[in-house]
Amino acid sequence: MKTLFIGDLHLKARLILPLVAQVIAEHQIERLVFMGDYCDLHGQTENTKLYAQELLYLQKWQQGQLDAGVEIINLLGNHDIFYLLGVPAEFSVTDRDAFFAVQNFLENFQLQVAYQLDDYLISHAGFNILFDLAPWHLVPLNQASITDHEKELEIFTRAVGPMRGGGDMAGSPVWADFRELELIPNAEIPKQIVGHTPQEVIKFTEHVIGVDTFSVYLDMDSLTYQFIGNGDLLCYEDGRFTVIPTNWQSEATRTALSKLY
C-alpha cells in the first residue's frame, strides 16, 4: 500500500493539501499519515477566522479522501495536545471561545500518538531513550481515553529538552528534537519517521527520517513568512521510500502567505 507522509500543517492546509491532492492522483496513494500540528502559526494567534477556515477546509478535504477510499492516520502534535487537555499554551489561539472550538474539533479528529508501519514507528516528534512505546499510543484518542491518560499526556506537554528551550533532559514524543533521536536513541525503536523539527529537505539518517518540509518562519523585520522547507513529500511502499517534489516554494505560495499580514 502506497503511504504518503504529510508534515506539520500549522494552519496552511489550504496551501498544502492541493499539492498533496496532485501527488495522490499522480502516484495512486492509498494511505495518508498526517504528522500532527494542524493548528497555530507564529503571528496568527489572534486570527480566529484563519483557524476556522483552515480546520473546516482540512475536515472537508480529508472527508473527500476518505470517501475516495484513501486511509487516513492523524497523529498528535505538541500544538494539538494543549487543546485536547484544555490548557492554552503561549502559541495557542488567544480567543477563549475559539480555543474550545478547536478543542472540540480535535477531540473528534481521531488523533493518535504513534502509528506502526512495518519496521517504522511514526510519531510527531519521536521516541528517545526517555520514553517507551505503550499500547495506547497506537490507538486513536477519544474523550474517554484522553481522561484515562490525562497524566501521561500532561507529562508529554511538560517534557521539553534544552534543544527546544526546555529544562528537561530531553523531549517527549510530541516535543523531542530530531537531534535527540540521534544522540540519545531509543534502542527498542530503531527506525522512526517524524515531523516537528523543520527540515529543508526530507532528512534521512541511519535510524530516523524527518519529513517536516512545509515549515516557514516569520521574519520580524519585514513581517513576511519565509520558506524553511522545500515541500518535498515522502512516499513509502513495500520497504522502499520515494521522495516526491511539490510546487511548494512558488510565487503563488509566497503571495498567499503574504496576505496573512
Q: Please, is 140 exposed, middle or buried when counting C-beta atoms within 10 Å of its C-beta (0-12, 13-18, 19+)?
A: middle
Q: What is the pLDDT of residue 261?
A: 74
- End-to-end, the C-alpha distance of the chain in Å comes to 41
Q: Is the pLDDT of residue 227 over 90?
A: yes
Q: What is the pLDDT of residue 65?
A: 98
At 59-91, the pLDDT tens digits run 999 999 999 999 999 999 999 999 999 999 999
Neighbour count for residue 18 (Cβ, 10 Å): 12
At 102-150, the pLDDT tens digits run 999 999 999 999 999 999 999 999 999 999 999 999 999 999 999 999 9
Q: How far apart are CA 184 and CA 127, in angstroms?
A: 10
The verdict on pTM exceeding 0.95 is yes
Q: How far apart are CA 15 and CA 251, in angstroms?
A: 12
C-beta of residue 62 within 8 angstroms of C-beta of residue 33: no
Q: Is the pLDDT of residue 243 over 80?
A: yes
Mean pLDDT of 178-202: 97
Four-residue CA torsion sign, 7, 9, 13, 15: negative
Q: How far apart are CA 13 and CA 19, in angstroms?
A: 10
Sequence-ordered list of residues with C-beta below 8 angstroms from that of 18, at least 6 positions apart, any chain:
none
Q: How far apart are CA 166 and CA 164, in angstroms?
A: 6
Q: What is the pLDDT of residue 194?
A: 99
6 phi and psi, to 5 degrees? -115, 115
Helix locations, the chain, DSSP H: 13-27, 48-67, 78-85, 96-107, 143-148, 150-158, 178-183, 251-258
Neighbour count for residue 161 (Cβ, 10 Å): 22
At 146-189, the pLDDT tens digits run 999 999 999 999 999 999 999 999 999 999 999 999 999 999 99
Q: Which of 96, 111, 181 is nearest to 153 (CA)?
A: 111
Q: What is the pLDDT of residue 152?
A: 98
- Cα radius of gyration rounded to whole Å, the chain: 17
Sequence-ordered list of residues with C-beta below 8 angstroms from that of 96, at least 6 positions apart, any chain:
none
The C-alpha cell at 228 is 524553511
At 28-43, the pLDDT tens digits run 999 999 999 999 999 9
Q: How far apart are CA 208 and CA 197, in angstroms?
A: 12
Cα angle 140, 184, 163; round to 5: 85
Strand residue runs (E) in 113-239: 114-117, 120-123, 192-194, 203-204, 208-210, 216-219, 224-227, 233-237
Angstrom distances, CA of residue 170 to CA of 52, 56, 72, 178, 180: 33, 34, 30, 11, 7
